[in-house]
Amino acid sequence: MADTRDIELTVNGESRSATVETRTSLGDFLRQALGLTGTHLGCEHGVCGACTVLVDGEAVRSCLMLAVQAKGREVTTVEGLSNPDGTLHPLQDAFWRNHGLQCGFCTPGMLTSLAAFLEENPDPSEREVREAISGNICRCTGYQGIVDAALDAAKTMREG
Partner 1 sequence: MKPAPFTYHDPTSAAEAVALLGAHEDAKLLAGGQSLMPMLNMRFVVADHVIDLNGVEGLAGINNTGDALEIGAMTRQRDLMRDPAVAAKAPIMPEALEWVGHFQTRNRGTIGGSLCHLDPAAELPCLMAAYDAVLTVEGPDGAREVPFTEWPLAYMIPNLGPDELLTKVTVPTWAGGHGYGFSEFARRHGDFAIVAVAALLEIDGGNISRAAISVGGADVKPIRLEEAESALAGQAAGPDAFKAAGEVARQIDAMSDTYVTSAYRQRLAATLVERALDKAAQRAGGSA
Partner 2 sequence: MGVRYVGAEVQRMEDPRLITGHGRYVDDITLEGMLHAAFLRSPVAHARIGSIDTSRAAELEGVHRVLTLADFPAELQKPMAQLYPAPPIEHNKTQYPLAHDEVCHVGQAIACVVADSRAIAEDALALIDVDYENLPAVVDVRTALDADAPKAHADLDTNLMGRLGSKFGDIEEAFAKADHVFSASFMQHRGGCHSMETRGVVSRDDPWGDGLTLWTSAQSPYLIRRALAAWLGEPEERVRVIAPDVGGGFGPKAGFYPEEIVIPLAARMLGRPVKWIEDRREHFVSTTTQRDQHWELEVACTSDGRMLGLRGNVTHENGAWVPYGVLLPFTSLVPLPGAYAIPAVDVGLDMVFTNTVPNSPVRGAGRPNGIYAVERMVETIARELDIPPAEVRRRNYVRADQMPYATGALLRDGSPATYDSGDYEGLLDKVLELSDFAGFDERRAKAREEGRYLGIGISSCIEDTGVGPYEGTTVRVEPSGKVLVQTGAASQGQGHHTMIALIVAENLGVAPEDILFESADTGKFPHGIGTIGSRVAVNVAPSALDAATKVREKALKLAAELLEAAEADLDIENGIVSVNGAPDISIPLGDLAVKLAPMSGVKVPEGFDPSLEATSYEGSKGAPIASGANVAEVEVDIGTGEVRVLRYSVAHDCGVMINPLIVKGQIEGGVIHGIGNALFERMIFDDQGQPMNTNYGEYLLPLASEMPRVDIVHQESPSPLNPLGVKGAGEGGTIPAAAAVVAAIENALSDFGVVIDDYPVEPQYLCELIDRGMAQAAE
Site of interaction with partner 2 (CB under 8 A): 21, 23-24, 31-32, 35-45, 47-48, 50, 77-79, 81-82, 88, 92, 95-97, 99, 101-108, 111, 126, 129-131, 133-134, 136-147
Sheet bearing 14-21, strands edge to edge: 14-21, 4-11, 74-76, 52-55, 58-61
* Rounded distance between C-alpha atoms, residue 154 and residue 119, angstroms: 9
**Closest distance to partner 2 from the beta carbon of 81 (Å):** 8
Q: Rounded to an integer, what distance in angstroms lies between the CA atom of residue 72 and that of residue 106? A: 27
Cβ-based neighbour number of residue 119 at 10 Å: 13
Q: How far is the CB of 25 from partner 2 (least distance, A)?
A: 10
CB of 46 or CB of 144, closer to partner 1: 46
What is the C-alpha to C-alpha distance for residues 39 and 78, in angstroms, rounded to an integer?
7
Least spacing, CB of residue 139 vs partner 2, in Å = 5
Q: Which of the choices partner 2, partner 1, none does residue 64 contact, using the CB cut-off of 5 to 8 A by kind?
A: partner 1
Angle of helix 90-97 versus helix 144-158 axis, rounded to 10: 140
CB burial of residue 105 (10 Å; 0-12, 13-18, 19+): middle
Q: Judged by CB under 8 A, which of 7, 36, 50, 59 binds partner 1?
A: 59
Question: Which range in 38-46, 76-84, 93-101, 148-156 contacts partner 1 by CB under 8 A?
Answer: 38-46
Using CB under 8 A, pick the residue from 38, 49, 124, 145 that binds partner 1. Answer: 49
Footprint of partner 1 on 73-132 (CB under 8 A) = 113, 116-117, 131-132
